[in-house]
Chain A
Amino acid sequence: MAFEAPVETAKGSVIEVVLNGLQLGGQTALPFHWFEGEFSNPPRVGFEVWDVAPTDWAKPLAHVYSGVWSEPVAWARMVVEELGAEAVYLKLMSTDPNGLSRSIAEAAGVAEMVADAIDVPLAVVGPGAPEVDAEVVQAVAPRLEGRRVLLGPASEENYRAIGAAALGYGHGVIASSPIDINLAKQLNVLLTRLGLEENSLVMDPTTGALGYGLEYSYSVFERTRLAALFQNDQKMQLPIVAAVGEETWKAKESRAGDDEMPGMGVAETRGILWEAVTGLALSLAGADLLILRHPRSAELLRATFADLGAGGAGEGVAQ
């Protein structure tokens, strides 16, 4: 008698958020458990683009982008046309109050140009300071009206301002919470109470890189997804976005040269693997959209997803 693998069927499903034709979420099974339910939308790979040239990105990244990174439009085109980005995550770092602190209107203009130049989903986020993020989003939202982008990061401090702008101009919101499943849920509740539909929200429960809190993020992602599928907790059924590139390329292991970390492998590939491993772990935990930086780690992840039988085929696993 042949062995029959036990099948655990979920009570709930992840909400499908559709942006510019790209579907996020929508599954009724745990990540890559295509044998237990619907898992037709594998984690999507988006790339991070800034509106100013970064001054502190690691060498392997500079090799790839230094030719385009002073031109946000060219940079965005490159990640879409050459690197196959399924989404662009445009971070308006020029408005960083601790950095250039440039005019928000100007940055919003850049966002509009980038939106005009690409045909994949776009997320536009502020520099990561709640007050400035709110101002940035309020400036960007009207200029991108009709395009339905993701705006954020919306946190407990600024979710009203960001949510209101998204509501008013028909955009989605990235709900960002500090590695805490209850705070994540609370923010989702607050945003839906503000009037946003669940299918215009994605959640970012904060990414910790390998060696820098990955296990915490893994646990929060996993529990969020378990709550969504097996407890049918409707406030936890949003697709999850993970800012993998940003976090992994901060790690000193990704940045240190060959001499600085002997025994830790070649600098060029170390960071790429750091990014790929973090991305893979979080994909297994429930991430639906990975925001990456390096094209090689994107390739590695896509190949792995294919091997895991994303899309329902599963041949890769059989082999």
Chain B
Amino acid sequence: MNEELLGPGSCSAPAAPGSLGRVRATDPADSDIVIGVKPGRPADGADGFVRCAVACLHLARKRCEEALAAHDVSTRLEFPGSIYHLPIIYGVTGRPIRMLADVAWVLEEAEQRINSKSAAQLRISHSSAALDVGMAVLWLAEVIEALKYLGVGPAPVDDIWLGAAADGIMRARGIEFIEESTPGFAAVIGEAPSVETAVALAHEMQQKSLYVFMAGEGGECLATGDGFDRLPTIGAGGTTLAEQLIEGGVQLGWDTRLVPFGREAFAHVHSIGFAVRVAMAFGGVEPGDCRTLFAYVEDRVPAFVVLLGPVTDLQCVVAAGAMNFGLPAIATHDIPTTLPSTDCTRWRVVPRVPPHDLVARSIEVRGLKTVVGEMDIPVAYGHVFSGERIRNDDLHLEMGSPKAPGCELLLTAEDVEDGRVTVVGPEVEDLSFGSTVPLGVLVEVAGRRMQKDFEPILERQLHHLLNEVQGLRHMGQRDVLGMHLSHRAVEAGFRFEHLGRIIHSIMHAEYSQIVDRVQVTVFTQTEMVLTLLERAQAVYRERDERIGSLTDEDVDEFYSCTICQSFAPNHVCIMTPERCGLCGAYSWLDGKISFQINPAGPSRPIRKDNVLDAARGSWEGINSFVHDASHGAVERIDLYSLLEYPMTSCGCFECISGVLPLCNGIFTVDRDYSGMIPIGVKLSTLADMVRGGAQTPGFLAHSRLYVGSPRFLSGDGGILRLVWMPRYLKESLRAEIEAAAVAVGHPDLWEKIATEDDAVEEEEVMSFLARVGHPALDMEAMF
């Protein structure tokens, strides 16, 4: 029975070391309920947990008896305006409750689940026992809440309390979960330490577009062992978050996303019931298919439980019930616990989170995607402004290079407060028209899926992201960063602070898959900028070394790119750490990040699998992917050789290399060269041969920088085969070629490469090579 309640991917087995930890109630003697694993804990807390569940059972029973005294057994039992019966019971068991008579089996089933668990069982590593009891209590709570609509117990809709939401509301709001215009809901139980804290908490949740579902009061916990009738008022004397918000003058209701379901914690069945109904309405989840149900809710209706104030037994039991649906519990008070090391969220209980950290922590624990609303900036934003130049007479501020130090740096950090923007140094209004000011932009991000490797890629996005601001021009990158700000933008109210606002919003909008929190600091004071610059340069160096040292052998996966299939339907690019896409615009890392952001997009990880020819760079996994992705047009590619199975090209290449058979070498030509190539054709002819996904043995299209890679045609002899290239290409790649040549013991190679000034006929190239003693002539025959 227990197993049945654990959905797919549940961490019951792997999370065994230290799952839930203990949940503490206020009475020290009655405090520790070990829902999780810790063997050897005191017995008392688990007793409290079970006692509370038993109390709920008694209460439900008592209320049923009352109802049956006043009503016929065939009286309808339902939540108004819903076709989903009592949705949790219906969704999990598949059995609809239609009338009072149907309650009998629920009570029996719940009793069986509760009574079959001893306190001892709850203490040892049967986390599922606690979940099971929690589920039973949710069913009882659903019955208790439904009975209220028959006049048994307190009125469900009363004063500020809204009671159950009709299906119409559920669907209208459920759409927001499916379209992800809300990141999720918080099921809040208890009271904040003060009205001010309550209001601040609610506002923060609203800002994050979260729904706040409220039920259950706080206050000191009373013993639950006797006086079952008093259970619903378990937090005697306590108030509720909803009431605190009313006192603070906050408007509640579905429109403000602050939804008070009921005064008793039982009313949280409307929170869970909401999620269950969304799963049935939008996910087509069949009632009774609880595995699918749990998985769906966890995936599509992200939510979490917030326990405000000292944690009571009832809160624990309700939270345990919610955990079945993947809701972690985050509490302001003490729940000493060991967090599981997996990133599985449903089993997590996080204690002692101060109210001001609650939202950020919850979002992170539950892994919610933040939804950022409209950017509040005084100027327009969009693609149309990305090419905008700022004329001299409109140039209000020149920031950063070339006239002053400037740099931008994006780092992952631990202590990131989402949305925080700090300006250190003078603001725009402190600077007069025509000023020059140093500029340092530090963007710190955090995210469960953020990786250090993504830093430079995200940092590079700052260019296009800030260029789309009307009246702002962003130039360069890294430590050659400069910006121009127009007078009009300043007049409109643009400040340095807005740089941070924009970066924060757009990072969330475009990279929400990897970034959870973003904070920005803008430095405009010289010493501070210089300090940042120094730090940044160290980071750049480290990055360059790291990226530069990453080789094809270091990874098991290469990345594909099929962006160009829109016009070259059978072309597939394979990007490796040592070879970027042939357009020069996408690297292996770009592919990796692009896949994180959009797994259905143009880049996929491809496992290399068995090696077919290590020297020429041929792997089974790569070939099989290329075969499929080229729709059967290409059977095999050799990544390091152009002789037989060169990679195909879409047409966006920067260079083409080809064999010069007489010279025992290759030429490399780029797109800008319009003269004759030593094989007797011009680039345009050559381009026609290789583009459109064609595989042309002897010719390879590639990026400029590939020439300097240790993997440059390494299967054919590498850089030493390079015998001819256009003069300016040779000049512009001098550093790369020299470095590569040094690495293979020919430091003077660069001098020996012919250009159009030396030769344009292959025979002339040949005599040039003989004259300078080009190493290619001494290499073994290419074929």
Q: A-side interface residues toward B, CB under 8 Å? A: 138, 142, 160-161, 163-165, 167-169, 179-183, 186, 189-190, 193-195, 197, 223, 227, 231
Contacts and interface: CB of A to CB of B under 8 A. Distances in A.
A52 B172 CA distance: 28
Nearest to B600: A189
B451 to A, nearest CB: 23
Contacts, number: 60
B105 interface: no
Contact of A168 (B175, B569, B631): B175
B566 A195 contact: no
B174 A168 contact: yes
Given A169-B171, A182-B602, A195 B179 contact: no
Interface string B382-425: 00000000000000000000000000000000000000000000
A227 B631 contact: yes
27 contacts: A138-B175, A142-B172, A160-B180, A163-B178, A163-B179, A164-B175, A164-B177, A164-B178, A164-B179, A164-B282, A165-B175, A167-B281, A168-B174, A168-B281, A168-B282, A181-B566, A181-B569, A182-B562, A182-B565, A182-B602, A186-B601, A190-B600, A194-B178, A195-B282, A227-B631, A231-B631, A231-B632
Contact of B284 (A181, A195, A227): A195
B181 interface: yes
A179 to B, nearest CB: 8
B571 to A, nearest CB: 11
Given A164-B282, A167-B282, A168-B281, A193 B566 contact: no
Most-contacted residue by chain A among B176, B563, B566 (CB, 10 A): B566
Given A167-B282, A181-B569, A186-B600, A142 B178 contact: no
A226 to B, nearest CB: 8
Contacts of A168: 171, 174-175, 178, 281-282
Most-contacted residue by chain B among A167, A181, A190 (CB, 10 A): A167
Contacts of A163: 178-179
A143 to B, nearest CB: 12
B181 A161 contact: yes
Nearest to A220: B566
A142 B171 contact: yes
Interface string B151-188: 00000000000000000100110111111110000000
Contacts of B300: 195
Nearest to B631: A231
A45 to B, nearest CB: 30
Interface residues of B, number: 27
Contacts of B632: 231
Nearest to A141: B175
Nearest to B174: A168
Nearest to A164: B178
A242 B566 CA distance: 19
A190 B598 CA distance: 10
Nearest to A156: B598
Interface in B584-642: 598, 600-602, 631-632
Contacts of B710: none
Instruction: Across the A-B interface, give the 5 residue pairs with the lowest CB-CB distance, nearest first.
Output: A164-B178, A160-B179, A189-B600, A164-B175, A180-B566
A167 B601 contact: no
A169 to B, nearest CB: 7
A179 B569 CA distance: 13
Contacts of A189: 600
Contacts of B171: 142, 168-169
Contacts of B284: 195, 197
Given A164-B177, A190-B600, 20 more contacts: A138-B175, A161-B175, A161-B179, A163-B179, A164-B174, A164-B175, A164-B176, A167-B283, A180-B566, A181-B565, A181-B566, A182-B562, A182-B565, A182-B566, A186-B598, A193-B600, A194-B178, A195-B282, A223-B569, A231-B632
Interface in B466-525: none
